[in-house]
Structure 1
């Protein structure tokens, strides 16, 4: 495996010594450089040993093989960096359109036989993959933290969440039922059967590098489809580790394929959307990119599902059953993954009678958190993914302050901790004219808006082009039903700030996209209903 040593570049001189051992699959010790200051975190972060170093793969995965540069059409590479330090983790092939077509061909060849496997066979494959993911939870979490930046505890939670989709759809695979339909013609019989849609193109984001892949691949496989997945350029190593585990689970050649690209992302995405062999596109990302992909996919009338941007309202009524619970729910909904989730609370509306008390308790709660490197033992929140994310968060804070908002906590770029750290920030005195009200921050900035009436706040909440998630706290049952039904979102959290569950349908309305992931509905995105009419089979009994 000499090419592995060539592509896995070390972070410093200490880590350079591990490469020969890594090639021999001996447990490495990878040491990250110290952060520039130790406030709120450790000054030196040692990446825990991988129990299985072979999970750390720097090559794309096609037809059940990891492909080195000499076997690819692409001759360029891109770098993967630790967002906490900016240090180089690995150098990965930047695949191009020709490489994408090779992966599509592999998936198409596999589909001819995989579509004929029984649902129970596919269920067993998914269950085996689930078991392997859980057995390697610590290594997967380590890789996630290293390339994504989220704290190790959050990364462990994500691995379990990612695995839950493999388990869920392993159980759903044998339950894709057709129907027998009563008909008007007495000599005919009509039945329906749900058939796999075909080769699927899956495009996933960096914020949940494990869960967003399994949430798409698992139902595709359960339905009998094969998949070509474009991994996120910021976090490809997690996807490739999952691919290695899928190989061990026994998936046939070509069923699962993982592309790696960064600079070539637009052309690879276009190829997936326009290639006639791809029959389904599933994308999680921004609304802007979703519109581009949908336009491209229209050229071949592909089946599509899109989970796009959010600008989630979080409403706290004065009759909330427990103000501390509302504070905890808002904090969880806002600051999960440092605000880098599509269902993060972006606009927190608090009724005027409790606004000041809520703001004080909220601010004090956020002060309890520790900002630092994801491997720090005391770290609760890590860096943002890159400098552009930091710039956007800070621009929203500056815009709000310039229009009269007050910063009660944070509000600064924390370059003393690393290049991509931004303070956990709380803003009060917010108004609907400020940028945060109409734009998703995707960062650790909590904006608190004051409102008076139920009608007013619902109107404010619905003043958005997107509608993914919404939350509110109230103990009034009539209000609960009114507000839940009036909010123009695909998912509503009532007296909770956490709504993600493999059993719950995940998706939005308006410009947050369409289609649902997870739940009993998720597999329907990867099947087509075939109608079969049998003639001349009815009538009177013979004899």
Structure 2
């Protein structure tokens, strides 16, 4: 362990997991983090954590009950006033230490992600660096929660606006980016002066727990960040949301679950941020640079093996460039090495579980039955682990379920188009509106198309849209609110207006 973190308080955890053959790091607590203490919880039960690359059990983590969830609320409430009153610079310093610690442990954290998530090590390391950036960004933003001062138009009073911490926040994160989704929520909450309870995904809790220990060692006060793993999230999250002390919900996951949580949040009118499902279109016009479009397609489709809400799901390619695009994409995706995430030569890792494989298989089979042509892959291989090969389907009909649903896997569905108006119409023909991609050699036309696409984020001649300094979020049934940028900080504040005359 580096000298900058070695002097910080060690864990007092009872149950731990040591990453095999990993350099550096520490024994990861596998219990619940409540009020700065790692505890086994009231149930005494454990949740098995699997390695998707082998299907084998890595370890187990504590299984929180409703009582444990409410204890976490108690801890967050006890710490709330003190943390809200902590000077912004002091909060920023804590976040900066978290950033440095994550960088120092980057390779080790990548190993953890690869083990419990299955993703290839380059993707895992990229996630760690992205996740760490949220701590640095919000360390800088913590001191920039500026208010407003204006004179009322009628001249009767001054309008003073302050941004205050919204209060205790419940943060719920998915399995596909277990580090980045945790830091993208924790960092702005802490920067704003809020205390929080993190409920990580059941499939990938180890990464979140490692981040929790990094937070403790960086000096986050007791009760400011609490973590509760659970195999039964419905009752636990409902109980937390119905506690009047909780004022914020931030969720990343499926639209279906998001709707359930919004109903739960309605009982106490809790401010809610939702980053939900996507069905990203990838438009390639005839005048696009083919090589650049293919490079962007590989990033947009195959980052995290397609298990990303921003992943390109539907490729709409103009007729003039269509044959060459299909040929080159098949060549590029066919060259990827499929294998265990922790294998340093792997380029496409395992899917998260058996259910994911079954969903992908169902969507591909439906598309083929309706006329799609399999150009690459399209069938599950034999052997241990949850693997689906990189696949390309051409001439996919618009009535295929693959076009309507988020596939969350390494399958590219390609559709030819003649007229740009048709491409825009097809791209917008979905209930989702998270991210979209456009490739064209004409910047003016690219901007015009981008403005007409009904999505919260558009990548123009780029295959990557995510950036901690940019507002991440969607429209329609892809979500509410924004994460990242200054917008993400304001999501954890309430604007207070004071009318005053002097």
**Same-fold status (TM-score > 0.5):** yes
Of 14, 22, 26, the residue aligned with 1:49 is: 22
Aligned mates of 2:101, 2:410 — CA distance in 1: 33
Aligned partners of 1:184, 1:326: CA distance in 2, in Å?
A: 52
How far off its partner does 1:200 sit? 0.4
- Say whether the 8 Å CA contact 1:52–1:139 is kept in structure 2: yes
Give how far 1:4 is off.
7.3
4+ aligned runs moved over 4 Å, structure 1: 3-8, 184-187
Given candidates 490, 494, 500, the residue that maps to 1:528 is 494
Structure 1 residues 187 and 434, CA, compared in 2 at 3 Å: closer, same or farther?
closer
The alignment status of 1:393 with 2:360, answered yes or no, reads yes
Structural RMSD (CA):
1.5
2:269 matches 1:301: yes
**Number of residue pairs matched by the alignment:** 492
TM-fit CA distance, 1:96: 1.1
Structure 1 stretches of 5 or more lacking a match? 9-21, 23-27, 31-47, 538-543
User: Are residues 1:130 and 2:99 paired?
Assistant: yes
**Is 1:371 aligned to residue 328 of structure 2?**
no
- Give the distance between the partners of 1:354 and 1:201, measured in 2 at CA: 47
Distance in 2 (alpha carbons) for counterparts of 1:152 and 1:258: 26
Rounded Cα–Cα distance in structure 2 between residues aligned with 1:348 and 1:382? 22
Distance 1:259 1:414 in 2: 36
Q: Secondary structure at the match of 2:75?
A: helix
Counterpart of 1:60 (choices 32, 37, 42) is 32
1:274 aligns with 2:242: yes
Q: Distance in 1 between matches of 2:378 and 2:354?
A: 15
Matched, 1:464 2:437: no
Instruction: Select which of 475, 480, 484 maps to 2:441.
Output: 475
| Between 507-516 and 480-489, the greater mean CA deviation after superposition | 480-489
1:355 shift after superposition: 0.8
Instruction: State how far apart, in whole Å, the 1-side matches of 2:107 and 2:447 are.
Output: 42
From 101, 120, 129, the equivalent of 1:151 is 120
Aligned to 1:487: 453
Shift of 1:190: 2.4
CA distance in 2, matches of 1:355, 1:164: 38
**What TM-score, normalized to structure 1?**
0.88
Offset, 1:328: 1.2
Q: What SS is found at the alignment partner of 1:251?
A: coil
Helix, strand or coil: the match of 2:274? strand
Would you say the 8 A contact 2:285–2:318 is kept in 1? yes
Q: Is contact 2:195-2:225 (8 Å) kept?
A: yes
User: Given the alignment of the two structures, is residue 409 of structure 1 paired with residue 376 of structure 2, yes or no?
Assistant: yes
Q: Please report how far the alpha carbon of residue 294 of structure 1 lies from its aligned counterpart in structure 2 after TM superposition.
A: 0.4
2:401 pairs with one of 435, 445, 457 = 435
Residue 422 (structure 2) pairs with residue 445 (structure 1): no
Rounded to whole Å, the distance in 2 between the matches of 1:6 and 1:94 is 12
TM-score of the aligned structures, taking structure 2 as reference length: 0.96
Q: Secondary structure at the match of 2:85?
A: coil
Structure 2 residue aligned with 1:199: 168
Matching of residues 10-409 of structure 1 within 5 Å? 30=20, 48-54=21-27, 56-68=28-40, 72-184=41-153, 186=155, 188-262=157-231, 264-320=232-288, 322-409=289-376
Larger radius of gyration: 1
Contact 1:166–1:218 under 8 Å retained in 2: yes
Alpha-carbon distance, 1:6 to partner: 6.7
Q: What secondary structure sits across from 1:381 in the alignment?
A: coil
Do 1:317 and 1:350's aligned partners in 2 also have CA atoms closer than 8 Å?
yes
Q: Please say if residues 278 and 309 of structure 2, whose CA atoms lie closer than 8 Å, have aligned partners that are also in contact.
A: yes
Deviations 1:418-471 (A, max 9, x none): 231011110011111100111010111110001111110110011100100000
- C-alpha contact (below 8 Å) 2:388/2:410 kept by paired residues: yes
Alpha carbons 1:458, 1:486 under 8 Å: kept = yes
> What secondary structure, in the 3-state scheme, does the structure 2 residue paired with 1:167 have?
helix
- 2:159·2:499 contact (CA, 8 Å) conserved in 1? yes
1:350 CA drift (Å): 0.4
**Structure 2: segments with no counterpart, 5+ residues:** 1-9
CA contact (8 A) 1:7 1:91 kept: no
Seen in structure 2, the aligned counterparts of structure 1 residues 50 and 232 have a Cα distance that, compared at 3 Å, is farther
Q: Is residue 188–residue 533 contact of structure 1 (8 Å, CA) maintained in 2?
A: yes
Partner SS, residue 29 of structure 2: coil
Cα drift, residue 7 of structure 1: 6.9
Distance 2:431 2:141 in 1: 34
* Kept after mapping to 2: 8 A contact 1:114/1:226: yes
In 1, distance between residues paired with 2:145 and 2:129? 25
How many angstroms apart in 1 are the aligned matches of 2:122 and 2:273? 31
Kept in 2: contact 1:282–1:305 (CA 8 A):
yes
Can you list the C-alpha shifts for 1:157-176, whole angstroms capped at 9, x where unaligned? 11110000000000000001
Contact persistence 1:313–1:348 (CA under 8 A): yes
Contact 1:414 1:420 in 2 (8 A): no
